[in-house]
């Protein structure tokens, strides 16, 4: 299993359940040192508002879930939402 695989699967699943255009969802896991990764999340422009949510609440929830998935692998996780 590659580094960040659980994080990748969890973040991809959660974001795909939120958006309308599931085909546009893209999650890239980038190593950020030995025990840290960054999940770069891309979605259709029309769905980014849903992914981030009012006052960033959905984005914060996604970061919390990604952090829990990272704990499972012993990784520190950061999530970046890119357009």
Domain count along the chain: 1
pTM of the model: 0.93
User: What is the CB neighbour count within 10 angstroms for residue 14?
Assistant: 19
Mean pLDDT, residues 49-75: 96
Question: Which residue, among 70, 65, 52, 51, has the nearest Cα to 3 in the 3D structure?
Answer: 70
CA atoms within 13 A on the CB side of 14: 22
Digit-coded pLDDT (tens) for 23-36: 999 999 999 888 99
Domain region containing 11: 5-82
Digit-coded pLDDT (tens) for 39-52: 999 999 999 999 99
Digit-coded pLDDT (tens) for 3-27: 899 999 999 999 999 999 999 999 9
CATH of the domain at 28: 3.30.300.20
Distance CA 83, CA 68 (A): 25
| pLDDT computed for residue 5 by the predictor | 94
């Amino acid at each position: 299993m590659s580094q960040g695989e659980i994080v990748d699967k969890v973040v991809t699943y959660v974001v795909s359940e939120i958006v309308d255009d599931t085909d546009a969802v893209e999650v890239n896991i980038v190593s950020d040192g030995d025990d840290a990764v960054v999940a770069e999340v891309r979605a259709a422009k029309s769905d980014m508002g849903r992914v981030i949510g009012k006052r960033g609440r959905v984005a914060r929830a996604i970061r919390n879930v990604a952090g829990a998935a990272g704990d499972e692998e012993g990784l520190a996780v950061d999530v970046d939402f890119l357009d």
